[in-house]
A = this chain, B = another copy of it.
């Protein structure tokens, strides 16, 4: 992951299969919007830049979704992948760290479209606390527990704070029962095994590119 990326997961199904499933979904939704109604593993593979064996293997971990000799029905394949990824329900998200990156993430439309509902914003900067971003107020990170008491449990926490406070924020989120973390701070987080944490490190990605500029 890419990384860029940290991983964790259940042993049976490869982590990379899960990542590709999400990518297939993006592609299928784009094609659906354009009016396509069926697709073969070959066509999907071409779009995703992988080979068709891998598309079929990835899907076969979860069931038989295609028709032999025909291909896959686009609409039902989308439904199946969304079910596999747990996107057939809303996921409640909070964002911690309302800086430039945090605001950029908030304005990103893709999130809401897939059922990710941002329901809380948190920061530690007194200058930001109390201000509004979109239709949400920024709250103190120390009011996180109260927030969960009053507003119900949170599924996923997005961490967009500086490296030095990322682990502190992660601990707070885990303490209030958050089970998934998406971390943009350039530091590997320590979390209990029942919590899934994925890190996206922008500098790491640039450095990987730098490596391949040199060695090739």
Residue of B nearest to A114 (CB): B203
A1 partner residues in chain B, CB cutoff 8 A: 1-5, 19, 205, 208
The total of chain A residues at the interface (CB under 8 A) is 74
Task: Please judge, given known A-B contacts A104-B104, A186-B26, whether A198 and B207 are in contact too, CB under 8 Å.
Answer: no
B9 touches A212 (CB 8 A): yes
Assembled-state Cα–Cα distance A190/B201 (Å):
23
B10 touches A2 (CB 8 A): no
Stretch from A67-75, A80-88, A168-176 forming part of the interface with B: A80-88
A20-31: CB near B (< 8 Å → 1, else 0) gives 011101100010
B111 touches A100 (CB 8 A): no
Assembled-state Cα–Cα distance A99/B107 (Å):
10
Cβ < 8 Å to B, chain A residues 1-57: 1-10, 13, 15-16, 18-19, 21-23, 25-26, 30, 47-49
Residue A110 lies at the interface, judged by CB distance under 8 Å to chain B: yes
Given A26-B186, A196-B209, 11 more pairs with CB closer than 8 A = A1-B205, A2-B198, A3-B19, A22-B208, A48-B188, A49-B188, A155-B213, A181-B209, A182-B202, A194-B216, A198-B205
Listed A/B pairs (11) with beta-carbon separation below 8 Å: A3-B3, A3-B4, A4-B5, A22-B201, A26-B201, A84-B211, A100-B107, A156-B209, A196-B213, A196-B216, A200-B202
Interface residues of A (CB under 8 A from B): 1-10, 13, 15-16, 18-19, 21-23, 25-26, 30, 47-49, 84-87, 91, 93, 99-101, 103-105, 107-108, 110-111, 114, 116, 155-156, 163, 179-182, 186-188, 190, 194, 196, 198-216
